[in-house]
Amino acid sequence: MWIYEKRLQYPIRVDTTNPTLAAMIIEQFGGADGELSAGIRYLSQRWTMPTGKSKALLTDIGTEELAHWEMIGTLVYKLTKDATIDQIKGTPFEAHYVNHGKGLYLHSAGGAPWIAAYYNTKGDPVADLHEDMAAEEKARATYEWLINISDDPGVTDTLRFLRQREIVHFQRFGEALRDVQEHNLCKKYY
């Protein structure tokens, strides 16, 4: 059970209308390595974790990823809400607009719709935690590249915050991996 606080985890400031940037940021909304995929992955994997500490960690990070998904959606919305048709025409956001207007839809920056195959759960805690560490590094890399192309200071600030959280999650999953491996190595007495 969660308590939903009706505010974003980090304040979102968007200084421009920029459908092109929105079309790139939507990668983290509905792309393979985006926030929704990560949140569902971690919340699904938690049941097979052998320790309370690792279950709690996956629950905490999975929930935080859903908060990040909300932040990404807010960025995309704010970058496009005041866009005129002339500002949308000829941009990568144009194809999205034709199908979904300014509404958010789960797809990658390249337009591929989100599919359940984007997240994985193996049922083996060690394999799952390695998958999770890789997922955090892929998301961190995507944030790096989004920061490189962002020309909006407010958006860049939010992207930096999200990139930093990916780094922290990677470190925490490394700690959970050590915890699970130690648990697997300890003698069991029956």
In a domain, 71, yes or no: yes
In a domain, 13, yes or no: no
Which pLDDT score is estimated for 5? 79
**Catalytic residue flag (residue 68):** yes
Which pLDDT score is estimated for 30? 96
In a domain, 1, yes or no: no
In a domain, 31, yes or no: yes
Which pLDDT score is estimated for 1? 56
C-alpha angle with apex 90: 85 to 92, nearest 5 degrees? 100
In a domain, 6, yes or no: no
How many angstroms separate the CA atoms of 120 and 146, rounded?
24
**Catalytic residue flag (residue 136):** yes
In a domain, 42, yes or no: yes
**Catalytic residue flag (residue 137):** no
Domain housing 60: 19-104+123-185
pLDDT per position as a tens digit, 4-13: 778 999 999 9
Which pLDDT score is estimated for 120? 86
Terminal-to-terminal C-alpha distance of the chain: 33
Which pLDDT score is estimated for 2? 64
**Catalytic residue flag (residue 175):** no
**Catalytic residue flag (residue 130):** no
Cα–Cα distance list, 190 to 52, 164, 181 (Å)? 20, 44, 20
Which pLDDT score is estimated for 187? 72
How many angstroms separate the CA atoms of 10 and 35, rounded?
15
In a domain, 14, yes or no: no
Of the residues 65, 96, 107, 131, only one is catalytic, namely 65
Q: How many domains does the chain have?
A: 1
Of the residues 27, 35, 64, 131, only one is catalytic, namely 35
Which pLDDT score is estimated for 180? 96
**Catalytic residue flag (residue 100):** no
Q: What is the mean pLDDT of each run of 10 residues along the chain (190 residues)?
A: 80 96 98 96 96 96 96 98 98 96 96 92 96 97 98 98 98 97 82
CATH number of the domain that residue 158 is part of: 1.20.1260.10
